[in-house]
Structure 1
Amino acid sequence: MKVLVVGGGGREHALVWKLSQSPRVKEIYCAPGNAGIASLARCVPVAAEDIPGLLAFARQEKVDLTVVGPEGPLTMGIVDSFSEAGLAIFGPTARAAAIEGSKVLAKEIMAKYHIPTARFASFTDAREAAAYIREKGAPCVVKADGLAAGKGVIVCETVAEALKAVETIMVQKAFGAAGARVVVEEYLTGEEASILAFTDGERVIPMVPAQDHKQVYDGDRGPNTGGMGAYAPAPVCTPEVQRAALEKILIPTVRAMAAEGRPYRGVLYAGLMITPDGPKVLEFNARFGDPEAQPVLMLLESDLVEIMEGLLAGRLSETDIRWRPGAAVCVVLASGGYPGSYEKGKIISGLDTVPPDVAVFHAGTALKDGQVVTSGGRVLGVTAMAPDIPAAIEKAYAALEHIHFAGMHYRRDIGRKALNRNKN
């Protein structure tokens, strides 16, 4: 069969890598892809959000299955367009993907259906948001309503910081139209985790729990990024936490979406805070996380094509989903200056010397004059699997020593929370 993967980042490279292992897949296309993906798939010069262009290509090449990586095309309705054309596509419809596209909508659904999350209020007027912050005090979290590439969430320790966040999002429009509304919510304490699940709209099957590292610097300092690394499984998600997340969050959310006329099929990502009162939702995403997809897919033993086809046919309960024992760790190598401004076009060396049992998933790379160069903020995701988390951490960090580009930055503490937890 022919498969088209939409997107060009590290998540999409991991998807292409996993899909290429299926004996049923004969050819993979990726739009637009990147320099690393090009070794496994035919990269197509069509933007991920060019839905008419993608549809025309899929028809022309008689693509059997399209897999959507990023949130943008999902919220724009790529699944609706392909489905109406009779083409198989993996992902939620625009109405379902709105659970990620609008934080206000997600919070309202959680409030209505008693899904555990932080207390909140939403605003379309900056002065009203500021008045609410002054009344409620800090710490708090200020979020742009719409899509902001993982950077529209600002954790505020003081009232002054929260007021500045409202100014940045709503007045200066740092995230454009995504900041037309904001959510101001209670600051939750605990440890974060991500639980992704496959769902066909009825059955919900969680994946191995993971933990992302959002802040740019060690010790969870600095501004939020799209993610500086991840590992799985996350020991903070004990069997009790996983059961609570499934029974109180994932299943009720899928049922709530159906009740709201937004039936959900695809991958549902729950970003959680594991509080003393149990898991609470920080955010929902409508697709595989990035960089969580990299370690999670590395641990997936089953054929991803079989899972996706079973899900689309409403037969998820009959689908075999198995996970490899052990752990996987992904360390992101980023451009200097990210998540702020950064330079592109830096030559990347050493990729051919990385041990073959370590996967280097390309995120922001391109080919220039026969050389791989940087083309984004997050450049590479060095991902290693081992019998346990300490060994996987050691393996990933040893492998990244082979790689270099000017300004290369990475966190040196990916997975440390797991090590600390295992010591206790």
Structure 2
Amino acid sequence: MNVLLIGSGGREHALAWKMAASPVLTKLYCAPGNPGIANVATCVELDPSDHAQIIAFCKDKSIDFVVVGPEAPLVAGIADDLRAEGFSVFGPSKAAARLEGSKGFTKDLCARFNIPTGAYQRFTQADAAKAYVRQQGAPIVVKADGLAAGKGVVVAFEIQEALDAVDACFEGAFGGAGAEVVVEEYLDGEEASFFCLCDGKVALPFGTAQDHKRVGDGDTGVNTGGMGAYSPAPVMSQEIIDRTMRELIEPTMRGMAEIGAPFSGVLFAGLMITKDGPKLIEYNTRFGDPETQVLMLRLKDDLLLLLKAAADGALDQMSVRWSDDAALTVVMAAKGYPTSPEKGSIIKGVEAAAEADAVEVFHAGTTLKDGDLVANGGRVLNVTASGKTVQLAQEAAYKAISKIDWPEGFYRRDIGWRAIERERS
């Protein structure tokens, strides 16, 4: 099978690494890829936003299957355009990708199909949004409606912080994503990430993880795209998984089919596990980053066959097996992330870090310059390890990080702390 993977981040490196091990794979291309992905796939300089260019490449290379990594091409309809040309694609249609592309759309779907989530209102004017904020009080959550690269959400514990967030959205801080704003109830509990592979009718549970969004140790500082993750998430007991499937995922699948946008691809539910059970924070319509990195270390089955079954409507014939070991990833970011990351610094020691058993270093924002590996993004490396417990996986990951020479980078030193506290108690 000739496969094209679209994307260039840590998520895509992890997916490429896992698909490269499939015995049914003939040739793996990645567009545009990164230096880490180049070790397991052929990277090609294609622009994921140029659908005609992608389609021409697929025809030229006799691509049998396309896997779309990032959300932006999905929301722009790349899966529809590829399918219209006869290609098999893992990823939702433009209509189904609205689950991520519009937070207001998702909240409305939840209201219509009785899916547990926080109370909310949608706004296109700052004054009305601010009046609602003052009426509801803090804590409260302000979200840019559209795609904002993980940065359009403010959890405000003070009224003024929420008002400032409303202004930021409508004043263009997140571009067109902030033209509409969703203001919603603050949910109290423990966050978790839950994944399902979907084929339009069947949703197959595909693992749990817990992300660390805040930039600083102790969950302090601003929200980021994610500073680390571990899997499985202890808070996701079998009872909570069963409730999530019954109360959230299955009604979503039925609802999307009913409105004429059946969901195919991966459905990534950001959950808050409250005293009343699981509630939806948001849906994403692609694999999580950095959650994918830990899921791939634990997955025992052939990823390529699972993704193809989802694309072919054949998930009712599939099952998923996981390693009993835990996996943990630590994000190494460029100084200044997430507001103004510094690019261009040289990174050494990555090969040495990856030499240990059960350790993989996934590239997220790297490039090559004059033969040197250099930082080319905010989140730059994902140092990922597995172990019998989260604590052992954590120890292995940080030991690997100690071998990386990159003074211009930083990372959190407490990834996995919540799970390790559970293990100790």
TM-score range, shorter chain: over 0.9
- Alpha-carbon deviation of 1:289? 0.4
Match of 2:382 in 1: 381
- Please list, as runs of the form range in 1=range in 2, the aligned pairs for 1:413-424 lying within 5 A after superposition: 413-424=414-425
Tell me what 2:51 maps to. 51
Partner Cα distance (2:302, 2:292) in 1: 15
Q: Which residue type is aligned with residue 174 of structure 2? A: F
The number of equivalent residue pairs is 423
Using the TM superposition, give the Cα deviation of residue 317 of structure 1 relative to its aligned residue in structure 2, in angstroms.
1.3
For structure 1, which segment, 96-105 or 205-214, has the greater mean C-alpha deviation from structure 2 after superposition?
Answer: 205-214
> Any idea what the Cα deviations from partners look like across 1:47-68, whole Å, max 9, x if unmatched?
2222211111111111111100
For the 8 Å contact 2:356–2:400, the answer to whether it is kept is no
Shift, 1:98, TM fit: 0.6
Deviation at 1:138?
0.9
Q: How does 1:64-143 map to 2 (within 5 A)?
A: 64-143=64-143
Contact residue 226 and residue 289 of structure 2 kept, 8 A? yes
TM-score by length of 2: 0.98
The aligned residue for residue 282 of structure 1 is 281
Show structure 2 runs of 5+ residues with no match.
Answer: none
1:311-390 alignment, distance < 5 Å: 311-354=310-353, 355-357=355-357, 358-390=359-391
1:118-267 correspondence to structure 2 within 5 Å: 118-171=118-171, 173-267=172-266
Secondary structure at the aligned position of 1:263 is classed as coil
CA distance in 1, matches of 2:16, 2:244: 29
- The answer to which of 160-169 and 354-363 deviates more is 354-363
CA distance in 2, matches of 1:359, 1:50: 31
Conserved 8 A contact 1:236-1:421: no
Q: 1:379 aligns to what SS in structure 2? A: strand
Q: Assess, with a 3 A threshold, how the Cα gap between structure 1 residues 356 and 50 changes in structure 2: closer, same or farther.
A: farther
- Rounded Cα–Cα distance in structure 2 between residues aligned with 1:356 and 1:26: 28
- Give secondary structure in 2 for the equivalent of 1:283: strand
Residues 314-373 of structure 1 show CA distances to partners (whole Å, capped at 9, x for unaligned) of: 110111321111110010000001001122111110012112431000000001111111
Q: Which amino acid aligns with 2:126?
A: A
For residues 112 and 62 of structure 1, the distance between their equivalents in structure 2, rounded to whole angstroms, comes to 43
Task: Show CA shifts across 1:283-307 (max 9, x none).
Answer: 0000100000000111111101111
Q: Distance in 2 between matches of 1:86 and 1:27?
A: 19
> Is the CA contact (8 Å cut-off) linking 1:270 and 1:283 kept in structure 2?
yes
* Gaps in structure 1 of 5+ consecutive residues: none
Could you say what secondary structure the match of 1:118 adopts?
coil
* Rounded Cα–Cα distance in structure 2 between residues aligned with 1:50 and 1:9: 18
How far apart are the structure 1 equivalents of 2:90 and 2:165?
A: 36
CA distance in 1: counterparts of 2:298 and 2:87, whole angstroms:
29
Amino acid at match of 1:41: A
8 Å CA contact retained: 1:32, 1:44: yes
Contact preservation (8 Å) 1:306, 1:319? no
Farther-moved stretch of structure 1 (316-325 vs 336-345): 316-325
- Answer yes or no: is the 8 Å Cα contact 1:333–1:408 preserved in 2: yes
Q: Deviations over 1:169-228 (max 9, x none)?
A: 112x11000000011001111110000111112211112210011111111111111111
Maintained 8 Å contact 2:19/2:302: yes
Give 1:391's aligned residue: 392
Q: Distance in 2 between matches of 1:407 and 1:190?
A: 35
Q: Distance in 1 between matches of 2:153 and 2:2?
A: 38
Aligned to 2:406: 405
Q: How many angstroms apart in 2 are the aligned matches of 1:421 and 1:261? A: 43
Paired amino acid for 2:221? G
Identity of aligned residues (%): 51
Determine the C-alpha separation between the residues in 2 that align with 1:128 and 1:307.
Answer: 46
Name the SS for the 1:268 alignment partner. strand
The code of the aligned residue for 2:194 comes to I
Question: d(CA) in 2 for partners of 1:174 and 1:277?
Answer: 35
User: Does structure 2 retain, via aligned residues, the 8 Å contact 1:362–1:379?
Assistant: yes
Question: 2:118 corresponds to which letter in structure 1?
Answer: A
- DSSP 3-state at the match of 2:74: helix
Per-residue CA deviation, residues 349-406 of structure 1 (Å, 9 max, x unaligned), is: 0012112431000000001111111000000000111122111111111111111223
Whole-Å separation in 1 of the counterparts to 2:59 and 2:319:
30
Counterpart CA distance in 1 for 2:389 and 2:226 is 22
Distance 2:127 2:423 in 1: 46
SS in structure 2 of the partner of residue 208 of structure 1: strand
